[in-house]
Chain A
Amino acid sequence: MLTVCPYFHVHQPYRVKKYRVFDIGNDNEYFNDASETDLNNRKIIEKVAEKSYRPMNAVLQELLDTHPEFKFSLSFSGTVLDQFEAYAPDVLESFQKLVASGRVEILADTYHHSLAFFYSVPEFERQVAQHAKRIHELFGYTPKVFRNTELSYRNDLAKWCEDNGYIGIMAEGWDPVLGWRSPNYVYNPQGCSKIKVLLKNYKLSDDVAFRFGNQAWESFPLSAETYTDWIHAHHGDGQTINLFMDYETFGEHQWEDTGIFNFMRTLPHLLTEHPDTTFKTATETALSYDAVGEIDVPDVMTWADTDRDLTAWTGNDIQKDAIAAIYGIERDVMATEDPEIIETWRKLQTSDHFYYMCTKWSEDGDVHAYFSPYESPYDAYVAFMNALSDLQLRVQHAVAEKEKRRQEVASSESTLTFWERLRIWWHGLFKRFRSLFTFS
């Protein structure tokens, strides 16, 4: 028997507008670009909703309705959910409807699509908790399988997931890690005993995600029949074909005129014509198979670029500088206890900001250019650092204010008599337990 485990990742960042040096200290809004450029977050959501989310959700709904065996998994960043709510609530509703079928699983993630695990585990944990809360609010669902930003993965992340009750984690099925082994089996992460790691079959995934509409590709145009044959060829040589890709593959990266929607419309039917092929969600896949071996990833592995590491985000000096600057202010930011400041700080942690600063002009360079709303990596850096400078001012200000208030309270308290202090203490206690007193 062969499992097909499709998983689509839904994400949009809050892009930083052209925030200028002059704006530092004068403008607290970093994400409210209203121009016709791709820095306008509302415009992007509306555009991608039209090209991808709405038509693809219609296809997925149709498939769920007509193919009772069809299942898949989704993951959402919190930043995309917030933007759906604000700019395209109907899209959010259509996702909720998909999930309500009971055959669509949602994965755990960081709320802000960040690389926090590699820079601050406590912050990472707060973002994962925030994400879980939001998913439960919107979908009534508690994720059991974890995927980290850009499928970034390391042994200690898998261990963290196991310790925190997840039954599975996703990773890239990258040859240097696998060696002679196949990504089409379920493995245990190194140092873990219970949790399973699901590996992306990048060849078959990228045939759809990256190559589908490429006219220079030898297999262009790819028919659903051919693709089905490629998957069926793995019967007897694997447990599961994990097809992991960005949701925006459908309609945004591969435009409608490539035939991507029709391809998806016919694929489930063709796949299940073979009696031994079934669809499973990530949880079902993890539970259905015993691990055949151990995966050891001591250094960060991602699903990006030909390097499959973090160099797309932290490869050059300006990226390292920006990421060090954002995590360097964690203590002060948290000390403000100001929800708006903390949330803004987290929006700036979204990995996309650092991706836009990438200067690897190798074979991946054009990919970075395609996905960047800025004209140059340096423009991205300048906008980001200027906005961060403003945030730092706000943080300093908020911390100073808090300290001032604390001192005022302290000094006023010190001049009080014993009886006055007793009265204040009693009043505070009374307030805290008022609900009990007024119960009857």
Chain B
Amino acid sequence: MKVLTFGWDFPPHTTGGLGMACQGITRELAQSGVEVIFVLPKSQAVDGHSRFIFADVEKMVRTREVPSAMVPYTGSQTMIDVYDEYGRHHLYSRTLLQEVHAYAHKAAEIAMEEEFDLIHAHDWTSYLAGVAAKIATGKPLILHVHATAFDQAAGENVDPQVYEIEKESFAVADKVVAVSQFTKDIVTQKYDVNPDKVTVVHNGIDTQEVKRHEPTLQELRAQGKKIVLYHGRITVQKGVDYFVQAAQKVVSYDPNVVFVISGKGDMTGQIMQQVGALGLSQHVLFAGALWYEERDQMYQSVDLVVMPSVSEPFGLVPLEAIQHGAPSLISKQSGVAEVITHVLKVDFWDVEEMANKILAALRYPVMHGQLVKEGQKESAQLSWKGVARKVLDLYRHLIEWVT
């Protein structure tokens, strides 16, 4: 079986869960004998393709790059700085929307050249590429929904152009994969997609031996401080402002708690102001965006991780955190809440309860211990292998149904 896959982001040059998901699924599909042709839009950001390797399945995955200048997680009108291969600024920058269309244009050409059985496109930036490939070749199309315009906007002011691309692409697609029931509900309710057409395939996580790092924030720990971490982009979708409100309630009860915010985003300035206005500067630390070793080091050094998302299609953070021994408090408005039970859960808007559960997690060591012990067992069950199995089932059904 040969699958033409469109994505726009791939490790190690990734800014979030989408690239990780593409990597995990593709690797495991290749392991099960599926030949994946992974198409990525070429840009400076993903130029470093020498690091794009699957040591074990290298031969099965070919990459094909399209000239493009896309970066993820921005609105359709965001201007993108484009540099040529010598680092010179292009005279005319293009919007993300133009990039998406350019990508689709190239996608049709690639599709005509390649041989494959079906098309699989990840995230809205690749939907048009997938649709173009389908129109060019008539092959069945699967759209994989990792997020929707409603998540990015946290419910309000949905980008109309993104919405239009999503809605029209869903209508053309033969199957839609949603990363959670939470996301499926949005797809069926906000985009009028027939529920029968949408399959839920929850994301997974790589279960590997965790490398222990030197603990960080040693000084705070030596002072007996308890540390609570937020890790993720600082945007309206992620609910960081609720986290700060909860922090205030926690600190007024127990001044011995320190909150760390790791990440950056368009709300960073606003959050910093909020911290200042609430007089929390002594209790909230901004760590900048931590990745890889630094991030893992942070996970290993904190007492609790909070994922307060307003709208989270899946949410990898609690699964990453638990691998490093940190339990999580997550919002019920997240897809991952559907598949894990050994976490604390809260409505993102219920700041009072968020603070209560943060305090409880720090106060009751036996519960903390059980959340870690049982949570690790639970996350070990959520492998990409299982995800790929479901995707493969879907491929088979679709090919059977078409032929």
Contacts and interface: CB of A to CB of B under 8 A. Distances in A.
B364 A385 contact: yes
Interface stretch (A87-95, A111-119, A279-287, A374-382): A374-382
Contact of B341 (A18, A21, A361, A386): A361
Interface in A299-331: 316-318, 320-321
Contacts of A381: 364, 367
A359 B364 contact: no
A372 to B, nearest CB: 12
B364 A382 contact: yes
- Interface size class on chain B is 20 to 34
Nearest to B249: A22
B310 interface: no
Interface in A376-418: 376, 378, 381-382, 385-386
Interface in B309-367: 341-342, 344-345, 352-353, 355-357, 359-360, 363-364, 366-367
A385 B342 contact: no
Nearest to A385: B364
Contacts of B357: 382
A133 interface: no
Given A20-B353, A382-B360, A318 B345 contact: no
Given A21-B253, A22-B253, A385-B364, A316 B370 contact: yes
Contact of B359 (A21, A320, A378): A21
A22 B356 contact: yes
B121 interface: no
A318 B253 contact: no
Q: Which label, helix, strand, loop or mixed, suits the secondary structure of the B interface? A: helix
Contact of A382 (B249, B367, B369, B373): B367
B159 interface: no
Contacts of A361: 341
Contacts of B374: 316, 359
Interface in B361-397: 363-364, 366-367, 369-371, 373-374
A318 B367 contact: yes
B352 A321 contact: no
Contact of B366 (A18, A20, A317, A376): A317
A316 B374 CA distance: 10
B370 A318 contact: yes
| B249, B253, B356 interface centre (most CB from chain A within 10 Å) | B356
Contact of A376 (B253, B345, B352): B345
B356 A378 contact: no
Contacts of B373: 317
B367 A378 contact: yes
A317 B370 contact: yes
Contacts, number: 58
Interface in A45-97: none
Contacts of B359: 21-22
B356 A20 contact: yes
Nearest to A320: B366
A385 B345 contact: no
Interface residues of A, number: 18
Nearest to B357: A382
A320 B364 CA distance: 13
Contacts of A20: 352-353, 356
Contacts of A22: 249, 253, 352, 355-356, 359
Interface in B49-91: none
A385 B368 CA distance: 13
A21 B359 CA distance: 7
Contacts of A316: 370, 374
A318 B353 CA distance: 20
Interface in A174-215: none
B206 to A, nearest CB: 24
Given A359-B341, A376-B345, A378-B371, A21 B356 contact: yes
| A21, A320, A382, A386 interface centre (most CB from chain B within 10 Å) | A21
A386 B360 contact: yes
B173 to A, nearest CB: 35
A382 B356 contact: yes
Contact of A21 (B345, B360, B366): B360
| A321, A378, A382 interface centre (most CB from chain B within 10 Å) | A378
A20 B246 CA distance: 14
B199 to A, nearest CB: 24
Nearest to A317: B370
A132 to B, nearest CB: 36
B338 to A, nearest CB: 13
Contacts of B370: 316-318, 359
A142 B284 CA distance: 64
A191 to B, nearest CB: 36
Nearest to A21: B359
Contacts of A18: 353
Interface of B: 249, 253, 341-342, 344-345, 352-353, 355-357, 359-360, 363-364, 366-367, 369-371, 373-374
Given A20-B356, A318-B364, 10 more contacts: A21-B360, A22-B355, A316-B370, A316-B374, A321-B366, A376-B341, A381-B364, A382-B344, A382-B357, A386-B356
Interface of A: 18, 20-22, 316-318, 320-321, 359, 361, 375-376, 378, 381-382, 385-386
**What 6 pairs between A and B have smallest CB-CB spacing?**
A321-B366, A20-B356, A21-B359, A382-B360, A317-B370, A21-B356
30 contacts: A18-B353, A20-B352, A20-B356, A21-B253, A21-B356, A21-B359, A21-B363, A22-B249, A22-B253, A22-B352, A317-B366, A317-B367, A317-B369, A317-B370, A317-B373, A318-B364, A318-B370, A321-B364, A359-B341, A375-B345, A376-B341, A378-B367, A378-B371, A381-B364, A382-B356, A382-B360, A382-B367, A385-B364, A386-B356, A386-B360
